[in-house]
Amino acid sequence: MTRLMNNYGRLPLVITTAAGSYVTDEQARRYLDFTSGIAVCNLGHRPAAVEEAVQAQLQQVWHTSNLFENRLQEKVAASLVVGIGAPGKVFFCNSGTEANEAAIKLARKYTGKETIVSFEQSFHGRTYGAMAATGQAKIHNGFGRLLAGFDYLPFNDSAALIEKLTTDDAIAAVMLELVQGEGGVYPADSTFIDTLVQLCTAKKILIIVDEVQTGFGRTGELFATQQYQFVPDIMTLAKGLANGIPAGAVFAKPAVASAFTPGTHGSTFGGNYLAMAAAEAVLTTLTTTGFMAEVRQKKCLFYGTIKRNRKC
């Protein structure tokens, strides 16, 4: 009898070792892993650069709390800002849902407004704030009253967006995935994003892009926002950030970031040394080794096969 709660539908397969694109089970059967730990192991399992960085860090220091300065956090934050390609500051946490909680708090604190507009079929996480942002009834059901202040619009519907953003003065932010992941893999239309950026700029409404799943090379650029050529006010990250060591992060433009002053938000484990060592090695691998060029090349291979008329 299992002593684990029954909240996951698990496959009857126990993975004991993993390397690169392959995993091995208890019976020594080898599998090509197409799951990547749900968009986490973007560099494959146990990439040498990340493994070595974590091993080296294990012998230095694991955890100090955020009561002290942390040069490794500074380094990863600087790498993220360079990767995103716009000025900003970073907060570290441990997961995607926590990154979205921080983003919601930051948007409300900065704007002094409450409403967060998100989209049907979206997925932002399982804690109360992120769950409320998630536009799926099946995720909400059975958990009582949701956090107030969330409105859902149909995705890719510019008319509905214009109607909402021009008539509601209580909106702090619009929160979205650029490719809805858990909701069924729906990419945002570029005309929809153009409308969103224009409206939000005019109405001083923040844009929060949840790149928890689309980040770190998943869409052919380091971040999906780069496909749409805009920089959101707030971007949330996790999954691929440390390639399997738990880590999350929130990027915000400088003015927005300044709303988090000492005591306003925090996380005991956030920016943990082992996670930061892994994240720094992940970002270095993604940005300096030709990895992204290879991703783009492979993308063309797939498009060439699946949809021959599509430019890549």
Catalytic residue among 92, 119, 239, 253: 239
Any idea what DSSP says for residue 242?
G
- Residue in the shown chain whose Cβ atom is closest to ligand PLP: 96
Residue with tokens 């930061």: 276
In this structure, what DSSP letter does residue 243 have? B
Interface contacts to ligand PLP, rule CB under 6 A: 95-97, 100, 123-125, 177, 181-182, 210, 212-213, 238-239
119's tokens: 């989209």
* DSSP code of residue 245: B
Q: Which is nearer to ligand PLP, 218 or 308 (CB)?
A: 218
Whole-number minimum distance, CB 179 to ligand PLP, in Å?
Answer: 9
Which residue number, 210 or 280, has a Cβ lying nearer to ligand PLP?
A: 210
Smallest CA-to-CA distance from 209 within 179, 188, 236 is with: 236
Closer by beta carbon to ligand PLP, 196 or else 238: 238
Distances (CA, A) of 62 to 58, 82, 251, 269: 6, 26, 24, 10
Q: Name the minimum Å distance from CB 39 to ligand PLP.
A: 7
Nearest alpha carbon to residue 237 among 96, 88, 80: 96
Nearer to ligand PLP (CB atom), residue 115 or residue 213: 213
Helix/strand/coil for 54: helix
Selecting among 91, 92, 119, 123, the annotated active-site residue is 123
Placement of tokens 């698990």 in the chain: 10
Of 103, 224, 110, residue with least CA distance to 175: 103
User: Minimum distance from CB of 175 to ligand PLP (Å)?
Assistant: 10
- Minimum CB separation of residue 246 from ligand PLP in Å reads 8
Q: Are 200 and 165 in contact (CB under 8 A)?
A: yes
Q: Give whichever of 77 and 212 is closer to ligand PLP, judged by the CB atom.
A: 212
Joined together, the tokens standing for residue 131 give: 């769950």
Q: Is 123 among the residues known to form the active site?
A: yes
Q: Which of 210, 223, 233, 253 is catalytic?
A: 210
Q: Minimum distance from CB of 176 to ligand PLP (Å)?
A: 9
Tell me which residues are annotated as active site.
Answer: 123, 210, 239
